């Protein structure tokens, strides 16, 4: 999305539970290779690289509140079995160090398993993400920054933000390494 745009066209008709999104880059060549190295080739060394790029974007955009809590989107069991790690968690771990903010891995939990989203359209992703997460009491009164690797339709981060707000979070910001164009 151009820096001059205030809202993406797909978001105009749908209210969002989060206040802002920071994305380090568009999920398009050649930058998408960084995500693929982490998720597909399992190169854990890409976590800190992606975190540095994302931290730079957050700083460029005015930063986060000093009391913000970083919360990675939890991976499903099938993804964890396949990869042996959570890409969002790897990025969040390094991002916490980059931004000197606390990381709360257990502040968001997945309530059920979902099919892989890569082949699903916007509506199917929205339906599949509804009620997917629950927030923990530790977010009460805190500004929460949800960390994920790629934001496509925004369905996953919307579900995460709704769950965190329901658990008492003061507000939610989304931090993603990449945003699909």
Which of 19-33, 107-121, 143-157 is least confident?
107-121
Q: What predicted TM-score, i.e. pTM, was given to this entire model?
A: 0.86
User: Looking at residues 113-137, what average pLDDT do you find?
Assistant: 69
Q: How far does CA 74 lie from the centroid of its chain?
A: 9
Q: What is the pLDDT of residue 119?
A: 62
Distance, in Å, from the CA atom of 58 to the CA atom of 176, rounded to the nearest integer, reads 10
Per-residue pLDDT band for 1 (boundaries 50, 70, 90) equals very low
What does the pLDDT look like over 25-48, one tens digit per residue? 999 999 999 999 999 999 999 999
């Amino acid at each position: 999305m151009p820096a001059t745009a205030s809202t993406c066209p797909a978001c105009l008709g749908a209210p969002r539970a989060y206040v802002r999104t920071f994305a380090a880059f568009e999920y398009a060549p050649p930058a998408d290779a960084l995500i693929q190295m982490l998720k597909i080739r399992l190169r854990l060394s890409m976590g800190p690289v992606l975190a540095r790029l994302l931290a730079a974007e957050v700083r460029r955009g005015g930063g986060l509140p000093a009391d913000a809590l970083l919360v990675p989107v939890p991976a499903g069991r099938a993804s964890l079995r396949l990869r042996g790690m959570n890409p969002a968690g790897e990025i969040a771990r390094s991002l916490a160090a980059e931004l000197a903010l606390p990381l709360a891995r257990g502040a968001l939990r997945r309530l059920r398993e979902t099919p892989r989203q890569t082949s699903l359209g916007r509506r199917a992703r929205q339906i599949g993400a509804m009620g997917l997460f629950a927030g923990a009491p530790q977010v009460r009164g805190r500004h929460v920054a949800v960390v994920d690797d790629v934001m496509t339709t925004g369905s996953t981060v919307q579900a995460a933000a709704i769950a965190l707000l329901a658990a008492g979070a003061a507000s939610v910001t989304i931090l993603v390494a990449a945003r699909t164009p």
